[in-house]
Chain A
């Protein structure tokens, strides 16, 4: 008799953005990058990227400029703490955001 294929389903996640689910919904404070102060954005050079390096959820890209994936960013604020240029501010989610033209 053919036996069952056992243990086909376990809880396993790989390192990567958001493999713990849509954690962006947990966020209370939203990190906003001021591109005029951000070092790679300002110099146009691949440099710094402390936000990318320190993000525990890997939701900041290593690009010019760095981009935060708000689907998964939990709003922990580590990027704002680590940014040597003070370019990242934490804004309450309840605050309306006016987009720069």
Chain B
């Protein structure tokens, strides 16, 4: 069934179809309508879940950790400073290997206070160990939420489903709502490998010593570093698992096929614009305009940022003349994080393209199509003379 709704409602509908059992969230703009919709679903009985109101995001994640530890499918959602307030618990959820799913409606971070869109909130959490999926439209939001629950419980790693605040969270678009029966077949009940069980009492994640030790049964128990190494290996392997989950989803629902990157007119392109999120669809218009002027250009959206899909990115970008990375976030004091990651991935390639970095749209500054055209035209005209520092688009500085 097709419906026309906001991105937040697309996310809430995905959570309902995924039959989340425990939802704990604290409202923050622009995520609020998502949690309001979920509380409506629970209140009306459409979703058989415990909705636990909390006094902060830190508590929201703590509740999800507890629920997931007890074997329940747990969900929360937040934005910006709310995400940062739960950071300590984000680390705990992934270290404890709990398949919590969280939506983040991307928003800039204060200070100075802002409620508008950029991606500094989730990009700055790239090193936590959570899987990060990014959406470009409402269909991808609802589909990604369902896939995220399956991915999280398959690999025992929590997943963030990120989408641009306002640009996606508050705009209305038509999208297909999957049938409940099909979602149930795709997403089996959560059967955790490790959970709190009164029949088999145990402690999880208490003080774990630097070295390995013999446990009470005489088996070798891992130390902290072994457990962390295992997380890294699982995260890298999760790329293949996500590809398989996406393929299965595509077979069942007819959508998908681009789990890592989404390319538009890249096959014959000499120049490729790269970004994360809804900007990649805006850039398609720019690409179409520039194609009319015979510029061989395409655009690539990065759909999963952690684990980083380096092999797919090398396949897509090696041999191109120039790659232009647009970012609504910055690793302050250095460069755009995506730019640095793409450069790093291509370092091992013998066919390295030139790479340019633009920062734009921070704190909701409007991204005008003409700005994108101008930036890309400049990069395409002189790909060899750019330098390694990011350039900023749309800055209004007094000279």
Whether, in the assembled complex, A12 has its beta carbon less than 8 Å from a beta carbon of chain B, the answer is yes
Q: Which of B202-210, B299-307, B323-331, B377-385 contacts A (4 or more CB under 8 A)?
A: B202-210
Main SS at interface, chain A? loop
Does B155 sit within 8 A of A, measured CB to CB? Answer: yes
Is A17 an interface position by the 8 A CB rule? yes
Within the complex, what minimum Cβ distance (angstroms) separates A67 from chain B?
17
**Given B194, B213, B222, B241, which contacts A4 in the complex, CB threshold below 8 Å?**
B241
B234–A13 touching, CB < 8 Å: no
B4 within 8 A of A: no
* A9-B238 Cα distance, complex, nearest whole Å: 16
Q: Is A22 an interface residue (CB 8 A)?
A: yes
Q: How many residues of B contact A (CB 8 A)?
A: 34
Residues of B within 8 A of A6 (CB): 154-157, 234, 237-238, 241
Interface positions, chain A 1-17, Cβ under 8 Å from B, are: 1, 3-4, 6-17
Q: Is A19 an interface residue (CB 8 A)?
A: yes
Bound complex: CA A18 to CA B244 (Å): 42
Closest chain A residue to B215, Cβ basis: A19
Report whether B244 and A3 are in contact in the complex, using a CB–CB cutoff of 8 Å. Answer: yes
* Interface range, A side: 20 to 34
Contact of B208 among A3, A8, A11 (CB under 8 A): A11
Q: Quick check: B221 and A7 within 8 Å, CB to CB?
A: no
CB distance from B326 to the nearest CB of A (A): 34
Complex interface residues of chain B between 236 and 271 (CB less than 8 A to chain A): 237-238, 240-241, 244
* A13–B203 CB distance below 8 A: yes
CB<8 Å pairs between A and B, sample of 6: A4-B233, A7-B155, A11-B206, A15-B202, A16-B216, A20-B209
Please list the residues of chain A having a beta carbon within 8 angstroms of any beta carbon in chain B.
Answer: 1, 3-4, 6-22
Known interface pairs A11-B227, A12-B203, A20-B206; 13 further A-B residue pairs with C-beta atoms within 8 A, sorted by A's residue number: A6-B234, A6-B241, A7-B97, A7-B230, A9-B227, A10-B205, A11-B224, A12-B204, A12-B221, A13-B202, A14-B201, A19-B221, A21-B213
Of all A-B residue pairs in the complex, the 3 with the closest CB atoms, nearest first, are A16-B216, A7-B156, A4-B237
